[in-house]
Amino acid sequence: MAPARARFVRMPLRAARGPAPERAAGILPTVLGVAIMLGLLAVCSHVAVGLWERTSTESVAYDAVREVATAPDDGHDVRRRAIERARERLGGRSADVDMYFVDAGPEVIALHVRSGPVGLLPVIAGRVAIVGGLDRTITIRREQESPG
């Protein structure tokens, strides 16, 4: 008997490339993935800027209270200069920040600070503030020189 010859079957070209409906199917998930990634990046940036503004405002307010608490005299001039320095350190943000000293007794210095929320998102998307504004009273006990 003679050896059997191998048969070659020709496959159509379309079957080698894959079915036609699946071509370019990765575009939609890629576009959605990029859009979701950009949205999350915007939210993270919004939160970071809000937290940075809030902590920098609070830090400036603490410095103003500490300056008055360590001053040898407690005149209105010392308090006015402390608020002026705080406003200089805040720069352009100082117009949006309210700071005033509150009467808390002879041994305590108190500064009330109020500022609105800050972020990067537009007004429409940022109406729900992820990081709210600052509204607090910072109190520090007066430091006196020890006799010595």
Q: Give the HSE-up count for residue 138: Cα atoms under 13 Å, Cβ half-sphere.
A: 19
pLDDT of the residue at 125: 60
* Cα–Cα distance measured from residue 89 to residue 56, given in angstroms and rounded to the nearest whole number: 9
* Eight-class DSSP state of 20: G
pLDDT of the residue at 129: 59
* Cα–Cα distance measured from residue 99 to residue 118, given in angstroms and rounded to the nearest whole number: 17
CA 73 to chain CA centroid, Å, is 38
Q: Which residues of the chain have pLDDT under 70?
A: 1-4, 6, 8-25, 121-130, 144-148
99-106 contact pairs (CB < 8 A, 24+): 99/61, 99/64, 101/68, 102/137, 104/139, 106/142
Q: Where are the beta strands (DSSP E) in the chain?
A: 97-103, 108-115, 134-141
Is 90:60 a contact under the CB 8 Å cutoff?
yes
pLDDT of the residue at 24: 64
* Cα–Cα distance measured from residue 41 to residue 34, given in angstroms and rounded to the nearest whole number: 10
Nearest to 120 by CA among 112, 111, 129: 129
